[in-house]
Structure 1
Amino acid sequence: MVFGKWFWIRTVEVWLTARLLASPSFHRLVGRVHQKVQHFRHGIPPEEMGGTNIDNNGPGLKKFVDYFREEIKDQFKGKPPNKF
C-alpha cells in the first residue's frame, strides 16, 4: 500500500476544512463571536445603541427656523431683540 491511512485522514481533513472556510454561515458565526468579544472588551459602541440623534430633524429644527425668521422680521421692522 503506497498511501497509509494517515494520508487519507489528512486528505479528508483538508477537504472538510476547505468546505468549512468556504461556508457563509461559518463566517457569520465567526463574525458574531468577534462582535460579542469586542462588545465585552470595549463596550457597545454608541452607533449600535441608537446613536446620538444629532441627525434628527424633528420639531426642534422647525421651531428654530420659525424663531429665526421671526427675529429677522423684527429686526427689519426696528424692534429690539427679545431677551430670554
Structure 2
Amino acid sequence: MMFKWFFLAEDYVVQLILRSPSFQRGVRRIHRTVQDYKHGRDPSEPLREGEATRDPTNSSGFLSHFIDELRNQARGTTTNSTSNRPKK
C-alpha cells in the first residue's frame, strides 16, 4: 500500500516537470543544438539572440580562459595574479 502512494506521487512529480515551460525550453535548446551539429545550420533560419553582435575572432569566453589555464599548468607556468589576492 505504501509503494502505491509512492508511485502515484512519483507520477505526479514527473507530470509537473514535463509540463513546465522551462523544461520544454531546455529540451528544445538541446534538440536544436544536436540537430545543428549533425546537419548544419539552416541558412534560411533567422539569427538567434546575440549572434549578430558576436565577434567570432575574439573568443574571450570562460572556456578559452579555462583552456589557457590548463595549458599553462601543464607547462608548469601558472599565472600568478597578485593583484586579485587579498592582503594579509
TM-score by length of 2: 0.48
Structure number with bigger Rg: 1
TM-score by length of 1: 0.50
